[in-house]
Amino acid sequence: MISVGLVLPQQAHFSAPLVLKSGALLPGFDLVYETYGTLNAAKSNAILVCHALSGHHHVAGYYADQNDSIGWWDNIIGPGRPLDTDRFFIVGVNNLGGCHGSTGPASVNPATGKHWGADFPVVTVEDWVATQARLADALGIDAWAAVIGGSLGGMQALQWTLSFPERVRHSLVIAAAAKLSAENIAFNEIARQAILSDPDFHGGNYYAHGVRPLNGLRLARMLGHITYLSDDQMAEKFGRRQRPGAGSYSFEVEFEIESYLRYQGDKFAGLFDANTYLRMTRALDYFDPALAYDGQLAAALAPAQASFLVIAFSTDWRFAPFRSREIVHALVHNGQSVAYAESNCAHGHDSFLMDDAYYHAVVAAYLQRITL
């Protein structure tokens, strides 16, 4: 089993205005995307991969001019891999509001000629699905064989079946939930406060000041990172191990876990846009398809025509398995097709990105059943 190899990002422009769920109007937008495999003549073998908080369109393969440019979900995509590019045509897209090439807060607002910054609207999971549908139109894909995603990506995979029931045959909802808990929102709020209170934030218009709220973004990522790991895994990986020269009774890096978090925070802050981070976490907070149905998830999911595969990880406390089972039970209540698997992968919420044998075997077995 090998990677898809060299890949190239592509850009699609959509000139028709888009009314967002918030009521805001976007005059037009670009989406950057990648594809792997070949779309068949019937256009029946397309799979959309939706990304999570910090993801993007570069899902698999690597770029010719960059070392260390492997896609973020490369381990599951390729010839003979669970998302088999010998059979399927895979599409990865950077979501609207992102910072990897699709129109977002760092893009230029055509009305002002300046960066959107604070004026870029708050986008929702529903908005992302609507824009992804425009990309599907552009690619000539009437219905996805499957839409798949982990975490926030799983929410999009779920929303697709509600926004466009006839355009999704299978939905793979991994390490996700039908809505955030108060605790989930609380973590997001702290992450946002770290950014909003950074003196370099400038109300979101930091581009004009030639600075970026790096400290805030760094803190936000450090906090987020803790919630993506499991307690056991952190104990195993770092324990209480100290750095060389530790014991200085200062606030320098003393423990390995501190060093790790600082490294992860710095790396992320260097690559990501704070305005995008704010919007991605807000999209998570707002997602709640049952809200319009008096909190009745089964009623909310009733329009879906897709078959579902729901996967959770026993060590994931950010979106624990019981959150996934809420989705499963709502679908069973409605008599909708659903399979559910629970992996013991040790990596907490991040397990969905790992090459866990059982988890990948479940995805492969499910996708092999799909007729093209």
Residues that bind another protein (CB under 8 A): 309, 325-326, 328-329, 332-333, 335, 337-342, 358, 361-362, 365-366, 368-369
Closest separation in Å from C-beta 356 to another protein = 11
DSSP sequence for 270-333:
HHS-HHHHHHHHHHHHH--GGGGGTT-HHHHHTT--SEEEEEEETT-STT-HHHHHHHHHHHHH
Q: Which is nearer to another protein, 292 or 361 (CB)?
A: 361
Residue 209 is a catalytic residue: no
Q: Which is nearer to another protein, 262 or 369 (CB)?
A: 369
Closest separation in Å from C-beta 258 to another protein = 37
Residues 109, 115, 118, 121: what is their CA dihedral angle, to the nearest 10 degrees? 30
Q: CA triplet 165, 171, 177: central angle to 5 degrees?
A: 105
Catalytic residue among 198, 273, 316, 356: 316
Backbone φ and ψ for 3, nearest 5 degrees, come out as: -75, 165
Angle (deg, nearest 10), helices 125-139 and 152-163 = 70
Q: Which is nearer to another protein, 82 or 150 (CB)?
A: 82
Residue 163 is a catalytic residue: no
Backbone φ and ψ for 217, nearest 5 degrees, come out as: -65, -40
By the 8 A CB rule, do 7 and 71 touch? yes
Closest separation in Å from C-beta 314 to another protein = 10
Q: Which is nearer to another protein, 210 or 335 (CB)?
A: 335
Residue 349 is a catalytic residue: yes
By the 8 A CB rule, do 92 and 60 touch? yes
The residues carrying an active-site annotation are 151, 316, 349
